[in-house]
Amino acid sequence: MQIGILGLGTVGTGVVELIEKNKNIIAKRLREEVHVKKVLVRDLNKQRTPLVEGKITDKFEDIIEDEEISVIVEVMGGEEPALTYIREALNRGKHVVTANKEVVAKHGKELFEISAKKDVNLLFEASVGGGIPIIRPMKQCLSANEITKIMGILNGTTNYILSQMTEKGKGFDEALKEAQMEGYAESDPTDDIKGFDAARKLAILSSIAFNTRITPDQVYTEGIDSISQSDIQYAKEMGHVIKLIAMGKKHENSVEVSVTPALLPKDHPLASVGDTFNALMAEGNAVGPVMFYGLGAGKMPTASAVVADIMETKRSNNGSKLYCTCFNHFDVMDPGQSHASFYIRLRAFDKPGVFAKIAGAFGKNQISLAQVIQKNIINGTAEIVIVTYDVPFKNLQEALCEIKTYKEQVVEVSTVIRVEGEHK
Amino acid sequence: MQIGILGLGTVGTGVVELIEKNKNIIAKRLREEVHVKKVLVRDLNKQRTPLVEGKITDKFEDIIEDEEISVIVEVMGGEEPALTYIREALNRGKHVVTANKEVVAKHGKELFEISAKKDVNLLFEASVGGGIPIIRPMKQCLSANEITKIMGILNGTTNYILSQMTEKGKGFDEALKEAQMEGYAESDPTDDIKGFDAARKLAILSSIAFNTRITPDQVYTEGIDSISQSDIQYAKEMGHVIKLIAMGKKHENSVEVSVTPALLPKDHPLASVGDTFNALMAEGNAVGPVMFYGLGAGKMPTASAVVADIMETKRSNNGSKLYCTCFNHFDVMDPGQSHASFYIRLRAFDKPGVFAKIAGAFGKNQISLAQVIQKNIINGTAEIVIVTYDVPFKNLQEALCEIKTYKEQVVEVSTVIRVEGEHK
């Protein structure tokens, strides 16, 4: 099997190294050897692994026009030119293996249509959860189930930051800086900390789980940059941890998709997923809850998924492909309609009648309070933490809008976080 | 797709019910409907689900000779006549889906050879871990990895018993009785509590992970019936929990396979797997650690795996089967050669020189002690708990043999349990 690789960054180098490192076991399992024939790079003069000597090119044509290359591996990342290259490769009847969540999440429909027409594979296990088997197990092993819910930690950078804040008591900025020093966060960390990366992965997984096309712009997305050490501490007091949770839920005729920080009870299976680890829980109407756990990013874990997909292009060569399965057309639920229990931290003036005023705004919007903590009086203001029962998000938003107008009573609404698995 | 089912016990009934319950989504995903055409039962007069009306037979020939039936689903359990039926079905060119760990573990080699010769599928995802995707992810998604270690909780009955002993303080007999009342344990629980069931599953998983044929009789197996509430309490004091752990390790030219109780540190990912849940961790040389978690048994979880395999027989119809991959021939390591840290609980007479004598036996066999607890003095005897550093099992056995001869000093050696993840 001759393959062409587009991109020789961290993941591309990992793919080349893994194919060399495990070549014997790969050849035995596949009953065929895998050879890297050509690699597309931007800069021909940069120092590269000796494994690609004589194989690099800066012209896409050199690869796409090579008749011996049957599999194109796209590991450049970013929307363009990756999308153009993948489209062209499929149109030329070559199998495509990609780790590109952005392209798959945004352009999956178009690309799957081409791959079906040309009867070639479009495989993307590495686009979600790094090396953790998730997409194939969902598509194949759980195929007899109606999936009712998926819920996971899909971004290692934010999980590292939140773990550092929880375990080491660090502030958000300090934890982010450390993540950047450790190489877990980019110099521009926006995609991670704002939840955009997790939203792309959730779009891919929800499309598979609920058999309906979901794109990243349909995912209600909040980041973790508003979470402070105070929130971590309050959560701890209440027996919870804060995680960035990607969630998809099937309702009767709609699908709810969100990426938001959430308080999880300490004994929730996702609560103990630390550091840069990822995990996905899926609930099927036959299998019940299942969880997949492992390293969600990194050179060799991601290469593990890419190379397995390369090997699968051989097995799936005879009409036995993983088709696009988005045969449903469910609406995406308006985030205001979604129900949850919420944690709200706010600062108010420490004087009589203030709490009554705030409580009144919740009451008017049919919001019952499950828990109230008031402390940390500083300069005449008090910190108030409120946990609501399960309420429509819209009602909460209206109550908070109103509370923010109480300039005589309320200094600021500091944080609003969903609470999972309680107060129903 | 027309299928024939052998056996209509719990799992068989679950398969029939699931095919009916999710028929729409199954037909859309498969692009074909699945029909149960005939079901083999022992007793034609027994009350059955109305879903099989007009479909039951007590003659295997009615099913095997039906040309329309392309997939035989074996969910009878037990070695015979299941083995004979599976062999015959494969020989007749029918795909076989089975949940039968005993047959697969003991006769996998022969059956795989027939399935390869006849170019039909032999699928058995349900034989390990109920509905949890494990076998396919290992065979496909991790195929670019050399697997160095697998470690899991593969028996729900024993995990339920140990969880009850740990969380509710119950004794072994009481917890077993409760498991039987809840339907989690058979009236003859030998296969579960002695570790035989887990050993069969480990044989299957090790064969896949290390690409070398392992049979249940090669697995060093200990049960949980010697574990007492004292052991649970000592483990707790040391920050550990006791689990029945199935473990496979790749050494240079051999494979170590064992099912034994083990002390796990509380923060180990397998430590929080409670009740009847199962989980498998696998370590790959690229992917690092991954874990699969879910319900390891039960009617609908098991049916979930069986029906997914039925659906896969269509996809894998064109030479794209999951072949047997036992192309290596590794020896199984003599259990005496395996290394571990051990917890030993014994009772000795409370008089001078006793501990020196015991410690001497360990020292003579090159065993260093990491931890010693002595308490519970009753009628002149003291309970002593010793945790060793990492030692060859053979050395420990020799030391214990010698200690058992110290009739003047030692009343009994009560328990010996492996300790995972520490004292290296």
Chain B residues whose CB is inside 8 A of the A325 CB are 28-29
pLDDT-derived band at B422 (thresholds 50, 70, 90) equals low
The predicted-structure confidence for B190-234, as pLDDT tens digits, reads as follows 999 999 999 999 999 999 999 999 999 999 999 999 999 999 999
Nearest CA in chain A to B273: A269
Q: Which fold would CATH assign to domain A135-295?
A: Dihydrodipicolinate Reductase; domain 2 (3.30.360)
- For residue B314, name the pLDDT band (cuts at 50, 70, 90): confident
Contact between chains at B318 and A319 (C-beta distance less than 8 A)? yes
In the predicted model, what is the mean pLDDT of residues A294-321?
87
**Cα separation of B212 and B203, whole Å?**
10
Q: Which of B67, B4, B10 is nearest to B40 (CA)?
A: B4
User: Distance between CA B53 and CA B37 in Å, rounded?
Assistant: 10
3-state secondary structure of A76: coil
Q: Which helix (H) or strand (E) holds A159?
A: helix A156-168
- Which tokens hold the place of B331? 């020896």
Q: Rounded to 5 degrees, what are φ and ψ at B286?
A: -115, -50
Phi-psi region of A194 (alpha: psi -120 to 50; beta: other; left: phi over 0): alpha
Phi-psi region of B78 (alpha: psi -120 to 50; beta: other; left: phi over 0): left
Mean pLDDT (chain B) is 94
Provide DSSP, A234-285. Answer: HHHHTTEEEEEEEEEEE-SSEEEEEEEEEEEETTSTTTT--TTEEEEEEEET
Check CB contact under 8 Å for A315 and B320: yes
List active site positions of B: 201
The whole-angstrom separation of Cα B290 and Cα A292 is 7
Residue B33: pLDDT over 90: yes
B293-311 average pLDDT score: 95
Respond yes or no: is residue A28 known to be catalytic: no
Spatial distance between the Cα atoms of B364 and B359, rounded to a whole number of angstroms? 9
How many angstroms away from the CA of B10 is the closest CA of chain A? 14
Distance from CA of A312 to the nearest CA of B (A): 7
Q: Which amino acid is present at A346?
A: L
Q: What pLDDT, on the 0 to 100 scale, is given for residue A424?
A: 41
Q: How many CB atoms lie within 10 A of CB B267?
A: 11
Adjacent-strand bridge partners of B259: B221, B246
> What pLDDT, in 10s, does the model give residues A337-366?
999 999 999 999 999 899 999 999 999 999
- Note the maximum CA span of chain B: 80
Residue of A nearest to B132 (CA): A290
Q: What is the token pair recorded at B174?
A: 């009481």
Contact B128, B135 (CB under 8 A): yes
- Which residue, chain included where needed, has tokens 């829980």? A281
Domain ranges within chain B, ordered by starting residue: 2-131+301-315, 135-295, 336-419
The reply to whether CATH 3.30.420.40 applies to domain B2-131+301-315 is no
Q: How confident is the model at residue B323 (pLDDT cuts 50, 70, 90)?
A: confident
Strand partners, A265: A240
Tell me if the bond preceding B81 is cis, omega within 30° of 0.
yes
DSSP string, A193-250: HTSHHHHHHHHHHHHHHHTB---GGGSEE--STT--HHHHHHHHHTTEEEEEEEEEEE
Q: What's the pLDDT band for B318 if we cut at 50, 70, 90?
A: low
Tell me the pLDDT band of B91, cut-offs 50, 70 and 90: very high
Closest-CA residue of chain A to B269: A272
The backbone torsions φ and ψ at residue B94, rounded to the nearest 5 degrees and listed phi first, read -100, 145
User: Hey, are the CB atoms on B28 and A327 less than 8 Å from each other?
Assistant: yes
Q: Cβ contacts (< 8 Å) between A316 and chain B: which residues?
A: 320
Q: Which residues of B touch A22 (CB under 8 A)?
A: 144-146, 285-286
* Structural contact between residues B346 and B403, judged by C-beta atoms closer than 8 angstroms: yes
The angle, 0 to 180 degrees and rounded to 10, between the axes of the packed helices B196-210 and B101-118 is 30
CA-atom Rg of chain A in angstroms: 24
| CB spacing of A28 vs B325 below 8 angstroms | yes
* CA separation for the pair B295, B293 (Å, rounded): 7
Six-digit token string for A237: 């007091």
Residue with tokens 């995406």: A332
The span from the first CA to the last CA of chain B, in angstroms, equals 54
Nearest to A28 among B21, B319, B327 (CB): B327
* Cα angle: A331, vertex A332, A334; to 5 degrees: 120
Q: Angle, to 10 degrees, between the axis of helix A101-118 and the axis of helix A196-210?
A: 30
Does the pLDDT value for residue A376 go beyond 80? no
Q: What is the chain A residue with the closest CA to B290? A: A294
Tokens representing B225 are 């019936």
pLDDT beyond 80 at A319: no
Three-class SS of chain B: CEEEEECCCHHHHHHHHHHHHCHHHHHHHHCCCCEEEEEECCCCCCCCCHHHCCCEECCHHHHHCCCCEEEEEECCCCCCCHHHHHHHHHHCCCEEEECCHHHHHHHHHHHHHHHHHHCCCEECHHHCCCCCCCHHHHHHHCCCCCEEEEEEECCHHHHHHHHHHHHHCCCHHHHHHHHHHCCCCCCCCHHHHCCHHHHHHHHHHHHHHHCECCCHHHCEECCCCCCCHHHHHHHHHCCEEEEEEEEEEECCCEEEEEEEEEEEECCCCCCCCCCCEEEEEEEECCCEEEEEEEECCCHHHHHHHHHHHHHHHHHCCCCCCCCCCCCECCEECCHHHCEEEEEEEEEEECCCCHHHHHHHHHHHCCCCEEEEEEEEEECCEEEEEEEECCEEHHHHHHHHHHHHCCCCCEEEEEEEEEECCCCC
The pLDDT of residue B320:
62
Parallel, antiparallel, or unpaired for β A254-265 and A331-332? parallel
Q: What is the topology classification, in CATH, of domain A336-419? A: Alpha-Beta Plaits (3.30.70)
Q: Which two tokens stand for residue A331?
A: 């609406």
Judged by DSSP in three states, A61 sits in helix
CA distances from A120 to A35, A306, B141, B318 (A): 19, 16, 19, 15
Facing residues of B240 across strands? B265
> Under a CB-based contact definition with an 8 Å cutoff, are residues B76 and B82 in contact?
yes
Taking 50 as the threshold, does the pLDDT of residue B424 lie above it? no
Using a CB-CB cut-off of 8 Å, the residues of chain B touching A272 are 267, 269, 272
Average pLDDT for chain A = 94
As for the ipTM of the complex, it is: 0.92
Whether pLDDT at B54 is above 70: yes
Q: At what angle do helices A10-21 and A299-315 cross, to 10 degrees?
A: 60
Give the DSSP H or E segment for A164: helix A156-168
Q: With 50 as the cut, is the pLDDT of residue B423 above it? A: no
Structure tokens at B149: 């270690």
